[in-house]
Amino acid sequence: MPLKKDDSGRRWVEMEFLVPGTPEQVWHAIATGPGMTAWFTPTSVEEKVGGALAFEFGDENCGQATQLGTVTGWEPPTRFAYEEYGWSGDAPPVATEVTVTSHSGDRCVVRMVHSLFTEKDDWDNELESFEGGWPGFFEVLRVYLRYFAGQPAASVRVMAGHAGDEAQAWSTVTQALNLAGANVGDRCESPSAAPRLAGVVERVRQDPNSRELMIRLDEPAPGVAVIGSFAMGEQSRAVATIFFYGPDAADSAAAQRTTWADWMRGLLEGERVAT
């Protein structure tokens, strides 16, 4: 849905999606630090109104950046709200409200609204980009809730640049991982020269500027891998995000971080390292 405005100066985007799970399972996934870490990005949340919130963004090659916020609504298991600061230069805080409504068949409807109060249109494009950025994460959330709900999680995220266009970056990475031409439902396994990935393709998405493929993993450990590419100016980027689940998730992520960072950098930037 496009950005909306009203006479009070409020600008907002909103989205609604259906996920598997009970309200309690969905609440844990969308309103707690361990839950959001399992499908979004490493997150910490003080579970109370006025509590601190922090999202850790970045990757193994470029370092981490922390986005801070404050919890403004805490009503388990139905409503979670927070404000984020410094999200775009001198922009005013952006307010986010997430509500969970029970649906038939052990499913829930999640509604997310991002709001900004300003008379300026300086940040409209960035606010609209929130709506476009969430769907891929929501797909990971669905897989997490369907197969791994409530389990401990840890993740690896690596990115590498490519001098060619986005399609070339995608072709290079997917061929190297034995994923070229993969469709939903296919079982795929990476070759011995690449980091280990084995599992079933859950999602394939492509548009003129980006591509993404999601695999539900059974090797090297239970989890979800998202392999993608996107255009950035005259260059392109490829990114791999791997979520590991279960009691050994942290160990699995620690064991894979350097392997993936070295492999991606070697494949796309010419600093080839043996795996």
Instruction: Quote the CA–CA distance of 48 and 81 in Å, as a whole number.
Output: 10
Tell me: the pLDDT tens digits for 45-65? 999 999 999 999 876 555 568
Distances (CA, A) of 19 to 25, 60, 110, 184, 233: 10, 30, 7, 19, 35
How large is the average pLDDT for residues 119-138? Answer: 77
Tell me: the pLDDT tens digits for 207-242? 888 899 999 999 999 999 999 999 887 789 999 999
Closest CA to 209 of 239, 237, 235, 231: 231
**Would you call 249 helix, strand, or coil by DSSP?**
helix
Domain 153-269 has CATH 3.90.1150.10: no
- pLDDT value at position 36? 97
CA angle in degrees (0–180, nearest 5) for 175-262-61: 110
Q: What is the DSSP letter of 188?
A: E
Q: Tell me, which fold does domain 4-147 have in CATH?
A: Alpha-D-Glucose-1,6-Bisphosphate; Chain A, domain 4 (3.30.530)
Please give, one letter per residue, the 3-state secondary structure of 160-175: EEECCCHHHHHHHHHH
How large is the average pLDDT for residues 197-204? Answer: 97
Instruction: Quote the CA–CA distance of 243 and 42 in Å, as a whole number.
Output: 10
CATH 3.30.530.20: which residues of the chain? 4-147, 153-269
Confidence band for 202, pLDDT divided at 50, 70 and 90: very high
Mean pLDDT of all residues in the chain? 91
How large is the average pLDDT for residues 132-149? Answer: 93
28's CB contacts (< 8 A; 6+ apart) are 34, 35, 149, 150
85's CB contacts (< 8 A; 6+ apart) are 68, 69, 70, 93
Confidence band for 275, pLDDT divided at 50, 70 and 90: very low
When computed from its CA atoms, the radius of gyration of the chain, rounded to whole angstroms, is: 19
Percent of the chain predicted with pLDDT > 90: 71
Tell me: the pLDDT tens digits for 248-259? 999 999 999 999
| pTM confidence score | 0.91
